[in-house]
Structure 1
């Protein structure tokens, strides 16, 4: 049983952090000089803050889905929604940093927040810890939505 839990944690980590890797590579490869030339709001965080925040959020997402997975009341539709939400998570970075399409990125972010809220509700039915682990993530994405919106207004 412990071996299965360890393997499932590794698999969920691999899947979740793959989204991070793809989004990170898109960001690193296409961010500059475009992003540096944008007018940013005064509350825009410094660049160094994003890596530790996202690393922490991806770990919490991994733990949330892993706990959910090992609950006898889990349902596969929620797991599918989790995977779909990872696609939207990665898509935002590609749309924003690769294609520089801030309005479409805003739309992707709205859909992502909807998916995260759906996961929070569905996780809550099965395990409160999984649900609570997603709250910082949705809050950060709401902050990102405000940033994204302000970048559109300022540019």
Structure 2
């Protein structure tokens, strides 16, 4: 059982952090000089904060889906929703940083937030640990939504 739990955690970590890697490559490769030239709101965080915040959030997401997977009432549809939400998570970075489409990125972020809320509703019925682990991620995405909207308005 312990081996299965370790392997499933590893698998969910690889799946979850794949979104991070792809998004990170898109950000690093295409962020500058475009992003530096944007007019930013006063509440825009410094660039160095994003890596530790996202690393922590991806870890919490991994634990949330892993905990859900090992619950007695798990269902595969929630796993599919989790994967689709990761696709939207990754797509935001590509649309925003690679294609520089701020409005389209904003729409993707709205869909991502809706998927996170859906996941949280499903998690809450099965395991409160998974539900609570998603709260910081949801809050960060709302903050990102306000930043994205501000960038759209200012630019």
Gaps of 5+ in 1: none
CA–CA distance in structure 2, aligned partners of residues 17 and 74 of structure 1: 22
2:13 matched residue in structure 1:
13
1:124 matched residue in structure 2:
124
1:153 matched residue in structure 2:
153
Please show how residues 90-101 of structure 1 align to structure 2 within 5 Å: 90-101=90-101
CA–CA distance in structure 2, aligned partners of residues 39 and 22 of structure 1: 26
1:116-143 Cα distance to aligned partner (Å, 9 max, x none): 0000000000000000000000000000
Q: Give the secondary structure class of the aligned counterpart of 2:61.
A: helix
Gaps of 5+ in 2: none
How many corresponding residue pairs? 155
Q: Give the secondary structure class of the aligned counterpart of 1:40.
A: coil
1:104 matched residue in structure 2:
104
1:57 matched residue in structure 2:
57
Runs of 4+ in 1 over 4 A off after TM superposition: none
CA–CA distance in structure 2, aligned partners of residues 122 and 82 of structure 1: 11
Q: Give the secondary structure class of the aligned counterpart of 1:44.
A: coil
Q: Give the secondary structure class of the aligned counterpart of 1:42.
A: coil
1:29 matched residue in structure 2:
29
CA–CA distance in structure 2, aligned partners of residues 76 and 124 of structure 1: 16
Please show how residues 63-82 of structure 1 align to structure 2 within 5 Å: 63-82=63-82
Q: Give the secondary structure class of the aligned counterpart of 2:72.
A: coil
TM-score, normalised to structure 1, is: 1.00
CA–CA distance in structure 2, aligned partners of residues 89 and 144 of structure 1: 12
Q: Does 1:44 align with 2:61?
A: no
1:141 matched residue in structure 2:
141
CA–CA distance in structure 1, aligned partners of residues 69 and 129 of structure 2: 12
TM-score, normalised to structure 2, is: 1.00
Q: Give the secondary structure class of the aligned counterpart of 1:77.
A: helix
1:54-83 Cα distance to aligned partner (Å, 9 max, x none): 000000000000000000101110010000
Q: Does 1:3 align with 2:3?
A: yes
